[in-house]
Amino acid sequence: MRPLVVFGDAQAAAAGVLRTRLPDRPEPYAAGVTVAGRLPADRSPETPHLPFVLVAVDDDRPTYPVSSLAVLRLTIWHHDTDAAYDLAQMCRGLLLVHTGPVIRSCRVAGGVGPLRGVDPDTGIDLATTTVEAYVRPTPLET
């Protein structure tokens, strides 16, 4: 009989890593950053919530029962394009060196960015990047 396993929430785990690690960073572009899995309801050009990091899962490919490979997309809104780019690099780097109970490891292979852009809805500078996260299985009783 094959074991019953589930895979942890890569989005929540990655957001947790960034929430824990970014406040301790001395780089000015990391100061006051908010990390979340969804955009604030009151986000607008008048209330931009900057800097802001959105963590999302674009794809999830389990290799049952060993691991799951989740593609994490990090979108960073910031005061200017350089700060957005720098913070995207920092977020990606922090995930690449992380290992924990949910995310076993991350890699860039097949990844994107960081790429600079402008939010079409708000006109705010942003950058986006992706990493692939190997997610540990959690065995359950059958």
pTM for the model stands at 0.93
The pLDDT value recorded for residue 35 is: 97
For the stretch 96-107, pLDDT in tens is 999 999 999 999
Cα separation of 119 and 26, whole Å? 27
We report the CATH number of the domain holding residue 14 as 3.30.2000.10
**Inter-residue contact 108 to 96 (CB < 8 Å):** yes
Domain hosting 136: range is 4-140
**Does the pLDDT value for residue 109 go beyond 80?**
no
**Does the pLDDT value for residue 9 go beyond 90?**
yes
H helix runs in the chain, sequence order: 10-21, 81-96
Of all residues in the chain, what percent carry a pLDDT higher than 70? 100
For the stretch 46-104, pLDDT in tens is 888 899 999 999 999 888 888 899 999 999 999 999 999 999 999 999 999 999 999 99
**Inter-residue contact 128 to 112 (CB < 8 Å):** yes
Question: How many whole angstroms from its chain centre is CA 19?
Answer: 10
Total count of domains within the chain: 1
Q: What is the DSSP string of 46-87?
A: SS--SSEEEEEEEEEEEETTTEEEEEEEEEEE-SSHHHHHHH
List the structure tokens of 6.
């589930």
Return phi, psi of residue 132, to 5°: -100, 130
